[in-house]
């Protein structure tokens, strides 16, 4: 597929994350007194959809949906509306298309807001959040560290996308600082735990699938039905306190070691924009049960990178490079499994892919793996080393699908680690 040529010149760069082929969905404002509203990124601009809707140029929904600080209302309109929006915006922005926007200099100047002037917000209201453990390289690495290579994968792993229900309340927008969490810790060799700040704070490189449709209580979904409900994808960093998690996770899995924060990128890349990059996943050791079998490949060829930059440093170090195609289970399979018990799914549900690691050390999607449990610290370009995150560190995720002469990009997903909050007086 070739790049679509837009009259917005910056959208025609081979390096931009936001060509006309993309048009990812976000929420923006300009200035402290401006109301956040829906827009799409195009080149170096965000296009104000609330304004276009008000001027009668976007008739793609049954009601006003873009003059809102979230995309949930539009997502609930369903796949036909999603397709209609992309078609209408393409017609307004493509070279030689409808001249209603390009030909109106006043409207054009008002509707195209420079990204440099825009504040980006949470792109949707997270109804519920489920995180999966669906990357084989990550699962094998972590299992090897704790159980040995011969028992690295639990018996169910090759048959079922393992997951846990997380906290929607602590999913935050890119740029939101994350305080080092407090919790119960039991250091190696100790018989009892103590309470204090995590010392083994980590990131997890993931993609998040944004569910745009819903299902009824008691109604399972096929993989095809599940895929049609996915509105798009975001970058996702599932921050993890490995020492809190290690003490708490048996027998019921992650809790406080994960609940303190999850950061998502500001742009939802719609599923349709990724269609040219659909690809096969890894070969399977055992066939999946029929309800999880896909009729077509469910993964996408999306390059992913993470940089780490100490506070005050001039240089960020790229600490990992991997690809979403390394996942063992697709988002559609995860969603179908989630609904297989009859669990109802809701527009605005967020599914974390699980940590995306590749086969080589430089492809590992967490510090737990990169430093091999802290035994092999990373060397940064600043001369410092890291086994786990220190206060002040900035983590930045980015990703894109590479076409012949264009990219479908996700922008960046950033967060800085702040010191733990002062402990309360527990005697009160």
Whichever domain contains 53, its CATH number is 2.30.30.230
Let me know whether 350 and 297 are in one domain: yes
CATH number of the domain residue 320 falls in: 3.90.850.10
Any idea of the CA torsion for 331, 174, 380, 301, to the nearest 10 degrees?
30
Whether residue 317 has pLDDT greater than 90 = yes
Residues 146 and 111 in one domain: no
pLDDT digits (tens, 9 = 90+) for 366-415: 999 999 999 999 999 999 999 999 999 999 999 999 999 999 999 999 99
- On whether residue 427 sits in a domain, the answer given is no
Report the pLDDT value the prediction gives residue 1, as an integer from 0 to 100: 81
What confidence tens digit (pLDDT) does each residue in 89-138 have? 999 999 999 999 999 999 999 999 999 999 999 999 999 999 999 999 99
The C-alpha atoms of residue 273 and residue 214 are separated, in whole angstroms, by 22
Cα 128 to its chain centre, rounded Å, is 14
pLDDT for residue 425: 85
Quote the mean pLDDT of the chain: 97
- Residue 126: CB partners within 8 Å, gap ≥ 6? 168, 171, 348, 349, 350
Same domain, 111 and 156: no
Question: Closest by alpha carbon to 233, among 205, 210, 266, 204?
Answer: 210
Does a structural domain hold residue 235?
Answer: yes
* Res 155 pLDDT > 90: yes
pLDDT band of residue 428 (cuts 50, 70, 90) is confident
pLDDT digits 0-9 by tens, 190-212: 999 999 999 999 999 999 999 99
**What are the tokens at 4?**
């679509």
Q: In whole angstroms, what is the distance from residue 371 CA to residue 101 CA?
A: 52
The model's pLDDT over 26-39, given as tens digits with 9 standing for 90+, comes to 999 999 899 999 99
Write down the pTM of the prediction. 0.97
Query: Residue 426 domain-assigned?
Result: no
- The last residue of one of the domains, among 121, 144, 163, is 121
For 214-233, how does the pLDDT look when each residue is reduced to its tens digit (9 = 90+)?
A: 999 999 999 999 999 999 99
- CA distance readout (Å), 134 to 63, 78, 155, 168, 382: 38, 27, 14, 20, 33
CA dist 156 and 154 (Å) reads 6
Number of domains in the chain: 2
- Tell whether 428 is covered by a domain: no
Angle of CA points 229, 232, 237, to nearest 5°: 120
Shared domain for 255 and 284, answered yes or no, is yes
138 is catalytic: yes
**What span, in angstroms and rounded, lies between the C-alpha atoms of 201 and 260?**
11
User: Taking the CA atoms of the chain, what radius of gyration do you get in angstroms?
Assistant: 22
* Options 17, 121, 138, 338, the catalytic residue: 138
- Tell me, yes or no, whether 180 and 241 share the same domain: yes
Residue 63, pLDDT > 90, answer yes
Give pLDDT tens digits for 269-311.
999 999 999 999 999 999 999 999 999 999 999 999 999 999 9
Query: Half-sphere exposure of 161 toward its Cβ, with a 13 Å CA cutoff?
Result: 29
pLDDT at position 424 is 85
For residues 256, 259, 260, 261, the Cα torsion angle rounded to the nearest 10 degrees is 150
Interatomic CA distance for residues 175 and 248, integer angstroms: 29
Do 135 and 95 share a structural domain? no
End-to-end CA distance of the chain: 64
Q: Which domain holds residue 76?
A: 9-121
């Amino acid at each position: 597929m070739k790049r679509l040529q837009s009259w917005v010149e910056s959208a025609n760069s081979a390096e931009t994350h936001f060509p006309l082929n993309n048009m990812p969905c976000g929420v923006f404002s300009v200035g402290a007194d401006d109301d956040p509203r829906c827009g799409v990124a195009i080149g170096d601009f965000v296009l104000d959809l609330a304004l276009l809707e008000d001027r009668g140029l976007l008739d793609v929904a049954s009601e006003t949906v873009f003059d809102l600080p979230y995309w949930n209302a539009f997502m609930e309109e369903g796949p036909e509306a999603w397709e209609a929006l992309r078609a209408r915006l393409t017609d307004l922005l493509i070279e030689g298309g409808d001249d209603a926007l390009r030909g109106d200099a006043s409207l054009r100047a008002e509707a195209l807001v420079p990204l440099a002037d825009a504040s980006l917000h949470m792109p949707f209201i997270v109804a519920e959040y489920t995180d999966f453990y669906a990357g084989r390289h990550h699962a094998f690495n972590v299992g090897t560290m704790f159980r040995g290579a011969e028992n690295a994968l639990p018996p169910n792993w090759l048959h079922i996308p393992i997951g846990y229900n997380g906290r929607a309340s602590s999913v935050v927008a890119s740029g939101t600082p994350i305080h080092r969490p407090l919790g119960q810790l039991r250091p190696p060799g100790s018989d009892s735990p103590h309470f204090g700040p995590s010392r083994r704070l980590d990131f997890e490189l993931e993609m998040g699938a944004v569910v745009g449709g819903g299902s009824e209580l008691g109604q399972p979904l096929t993989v095809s039905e599940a895929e049609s409900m996915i509105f798009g994808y975001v970058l996702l960093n599932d921050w993890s306190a490995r020492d809190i998690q290690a003490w708490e996770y048996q027998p019921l899995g992650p809790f406080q070691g994960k609940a303190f924060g999850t950061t998502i990128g500001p742009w939802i890349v719609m599923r349709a924009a990724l269609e040219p990059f659909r690809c096969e996943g890894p070969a399977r050791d055992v066939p999946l049960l029929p309800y999880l079998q896909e009729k077509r490949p469910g993964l996408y060829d999306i390059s992913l990178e993470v940089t780490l930059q100490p506070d005050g440093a001039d240089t960020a170090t790229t600490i990992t490079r991997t690809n979403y195609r390394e996942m063992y289970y697709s988002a559609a399979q995860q969603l179908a499994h989630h609904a297989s018990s009859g669990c109802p799914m809701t527009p605005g549900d967020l599914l974390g892919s699980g940590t995306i690691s590749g086969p080589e050390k430089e492809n590992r999607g967490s510090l737990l793996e990169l430093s091999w449990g802290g035994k092999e610290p990373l060397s940064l370009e600043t001369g410092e080393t890291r086994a786990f995150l220190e206060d002040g560190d900035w983590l930045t995720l980015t990703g894109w699908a590479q076409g012949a002469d264009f990219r479908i990009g996700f922008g960046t997903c950033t967060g800085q680690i702040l010191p733990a909050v002062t402990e309360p007086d527990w005697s009160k």
